[in-house]
Amino acid sequence: MPFPQLYPLYKKYVQTRHPQSEMVTDSADDFYANLSTNTDLLIIGTEKSLKGFARIDRLDNEASLEYIAFDPSNKKLSLGTLAWLNTIEWTKTQKIDHIYIGQINPSQSMLYKANFRGLETIVDGEWVDFDPKIHTSGPNFHAMLKAEGLNL
C-alpha cells in the first residue's frame, strides 16, 4: 500500500471540503482499490509530512486528474492550485498531450480552474476555446449521444 497516510488525508479533505459528497463514505479499502495500474499519484510533501496529492488516470497520451486532496486546515497555501501546476508539469515530462481539468462550475471551490490558459470545452460537438463568461457548465453529453443515434 503506497503512502498509508493518503487515505486519512483524503478522508479529512472530503469531510471538510465536500461533506455532501458520496465520497465521504469511502472506506480505506475502497480508496486504495481505486488506485489502478493506470493511476499515477503526485505527492505534495514527503512521506513523513504529506501535504496533499493528486490522483491522475491516464490512457495513452491523455490524462484526467481524478481528484486532488490536501490538508484543508492550511488556508494560506493554495495547495489545489499547486497540485494542478505540478500535474501540468508532470504531463509535459510524460509527453501527455491532453489533460482533462474537469468541469468549471459556479461553485467557489472550482472557479480557480478558469485561471489556467489553453483550456478548451465542447460546444455543439466541437472543441472551442474556453470562455468562463459564457461556458458555465460542461457539454450536454446526452444530446451529443442522441445526435449520433445513441441513447442511455
Mean pLDDT of 132-137: 60
Q: Are residues 148 and 89 in the same domain?
A: no
pTM of the model: 0.68
> In the structure, what pLDDT confidence band is assigned to residue 91 with cuts at 50, 70 and 90?
confident
Q: Are residues 82 and 106 in the same domain?
A: no
Q: Are residues 86 and 111 in the same domain?
A: no
Q: Are residues 83 and 32 in the same domain?
A: yes
Q: Are residues 70 and 28 in the same domain?
A: yes
Q: What is the pLDDT of residues 5-57, one digit of tens each?
A: 899 999 999 998 888 888 889 999 888 888 766 788 888 887 778 888 888 88
Distance CA 44, CA 77 (A): 12
Q: Which three cell numbers stand for residue 106?
A: 459556479
Domain range for 15 is 1-100
Q: Are residues 94 and 126 in the same domain?
A: no
Count how many domains the chain has. Answer: 2
Distance CA 129, CA 37 (A): 32
- 42, 96 Cβ separation under 8 angstroms: no
Q: Are residues 64 and 51 in the same domain?
A: yes
Q: Are residues 46 and 66 in the same domain?
A: yes
Q: Are residues 110 and 79 in the same domain?
A: no
HSE, side-chain direction, 13 A CA sphere, residue 69: 21
Q: Which three cell numbers stand for residue 123?
A: 460546444
